[in-house]
Structure 1
């Protein structure tokens, strides 16, 4: 079946609202044929496994992305093993292998939305994105257990790295056999050619709604990374053990995965992106306030576990929903570009927040000594202020249009240039139809 090309015009960097949809003339055009392949789960399974194994390593078109990420994971792991196996170990070699593993991370993080856009229909995209994306923190949690089990002493580290390298090889090799794209697209939006790289970036950054999502997403991912890394420092000053902190961190991940497993299929069915955002964002922001008080509670570790469970549940529920919502409102720009921009902001702020919160740690004269109260105040204030941004979506200005969903539901079929549009995602389909009738 011939692929429909998006006519993006000769102008460069046009905004998304310079694009409009034209109704399909069903009397003159044959009904298109779409097909959903079972083999799509093969590639999805590969994304899940790659995200799991890359988390182990970091803690101790989609086919090209899969192959590139797999090569970096394979080479990085075996170089690390060579560095640890050498006499007395070669630190520089190990770090070079670790660097390659770090470079593979963006490929695994950016791929899920593009893969689900290409292979899945509106009935399964959020769940597919959730499964592939959340495999990363799941792998991190598993890796903490696996690494400590395989290496109980320094002399066992080479064997640990060897086992991880072997598992990485087994997981990554099938990536080279994932099909580039389905022979027959699963839905109408999957057959629309996405805009080139630079045009996509220029267009996406001019969408107001993108920033209302990107800024809080980056902040919350950044704080999630920093809080996860500092759980021990947050809890230990109050007399809790490292085991208590480990249990709390594990429950954070488990609660998040369970919540996402519930919310993602619900969103696939009802497409309530904004409703989920408006419910989960305030809960997530309140968790930062509660986390300030929970460790000092007279009821022991239980309040901290409850708060961290809600923290993980709200964060993991939001993650795939937000990633898919961004694709909806920036269609037909390439999904992986918007995902990469969001993840870049989150990972960058994660490092910055970790440094800031560590610097705010109390000294030995604190009450209790070495407490993280100032760090938690910092995160709570920023998280609550930034929560205002996503809550304004669809409140001011024209109604947001889920562009990709409209295409899939048969309201639209082609994309043409429209010069007189604002930079917001504000074009309703009915308005476009009326304008076309007047042409």
Structure 2
């Protein structure tokens, strides 16, 4: 329990880091892809552990050996994080957003987030989506075994869910980096996810539907799991200039809270199966009927999606700020009010001849002669 508690504490420092890393170290046309790689590394590690653990552990005596093997990647990550990382930011910010990524304090940033209607809708709805997927992943084995599916098949469905989620995130990250269609990609992905959840709620209560369930779990990962990195970028865009860690981290916090509530609700709605039992569950208890719970899960996913699609709309504030920042030097150079007398170009103006020596190297403002000053002021006014 102490080890699990330490891992949980560490998760709060790591879970929101991909959005911050992408914002500080990558330009705007690479941020979504960088965020995707950082975000998907977490489920990739879960997938590797879920595949490797059964291969390493054949008896109870093998568990210490498995834990010893897992110390190696943990120690390597600790070494890299403490010895090889020396800089929090690059020497030169890759974008205007990176230069302003820490412009708001944490508490003031939280206040701005609460007052941001678009962000509140996104956080509640996608946080609910995280809760739905967390409940789905945690209860998948119990749901399927009650209808005669083996634990190995449940593990295969979980693996397909993660693999297709990573594949979809890769493709979607590259797409939104080029098109900036964060909102459109999120809404379409969640709509397809809701339809797939409805299909899972119905098919999971039937026997002998291995191929259909495997395909549905793959589509759940492809449509829903892959949207997570895009939503993290969208949260930063709609809440700029609030720090990326605060805007992305708050969504994950809400997702964990909603996940706990949804999981408790789903388990409370289960009832003992009264009909013929096809259960392969190994808990030694009577099989449970998950029909109502699965319909509720699909309904919650559909509700969160509908609210997001109908009510969420936001400008991309960070991209707008970066666009204004990149164009402001040119605008300032064209503004006559920002032209000093020493920067006046030698234009040929009819009826106005500069005094002798005026086109030579311009002196400093303090040493301008009266003739030079009058000529420069006239030129500035004409421009």
TM-score clears 0.5: yes
Q: Hey, what does 2:121 align to over in structure 1?
A: 212
Greater CA deviation, 366-375 or 324-333?
366-375
Contact 2:103 2:243 in 1 (8 A): yes
SS at match of 2:16: helix
Residue number in structure 2 paired with 1:355: 264
Q: Is the CA contact 2:130–2:259 (under 8 Å) kept in the aligned structure 1?
A: yes
- Contact kept in structure 1, 2:126 and 2:304, CA below 8 Å: no
Count of residues in correspondence between the two structures? 316
Matched, 1:102 2:8: yes
Structure 2 length-normalised TM:
0.78
Deviations 1:301-341 (CA, angstroms, capped at 9, x unpaired) = 11111211111111222101111011011111101001111
SS, match of residue 98 in structure 2: helix
Q: What is the CA–CA distance in structure 2 between the aligned matches of 1:386 and 1:191, rounded to whole Å?
A: 34
Query: Runs (4+) of structure 1 moved beyond 3 Å?
Result: 296-299, 366-369, 410-414
Counterpart CA distance in 2 for 1:394 and 1:147 is 42
CA offset at residue 366 of structure 1? 4.9
Q: Is residue 111 of structure 2 the alignment partner of residue 181 of structure 1?
A: no
C-alpha contact 2:32 2:229 (8 A) present in aligned 1: yes
Between the aligned partners of 2:69 and 2:251, the Cα distance in structure 1 is 33
| Correspondent of 1:405 among 308, 313, 319 | 319
Q: How does 1:49-198 map to 2 (within 5 A)?
A: 95-176=1-82, 177-178=84-85, 179-192=87-100, 193-198=102-107
Secondary structure of the structure 2 residue equivalent to 1:134: helix
Displacement of 1:299: 6.0
**Cα distance, 1:388 vs. partner?**
1.7
Pairwise CA RMSD: 1.9
Residues 188 and 413 in structure 1, CA contact (< 8 A), matched pair in contact too: no
Is 1:380 aligned to residue 288 of structure 2?
Answer: no
* Mapped contact 1:273–1:322 kept (Cα < 8 A): yes
* More deviation, 338-347/152-161: 152-161
**1:251, 1:305 within 8 Å by CA — same for their partners in 2?**
yes
- Aligned pair partner of 1:318 in 227, 238, 252: 227
Kept in 2, the 8 Å contact 1:278–1:390? The answer is yes
Larger displacement relative to structure 2 (260-269 or 357-366) = 357-366
Change (3 A) 1:389 1:411: farther
Correspondence list, 1:275-314, <5 A: 275-297=184-206, 300-314=209-223
Q: Give unmatched runs, 5+ long, in structure 1.
A: 1-94, 415-439
Choose which of 318, 331, 337 in structure 1 pairs with 2:246. 337
Of structures 1 and 2, the one scoring higher in RCO (CA 8 A, sep 6+) is 1
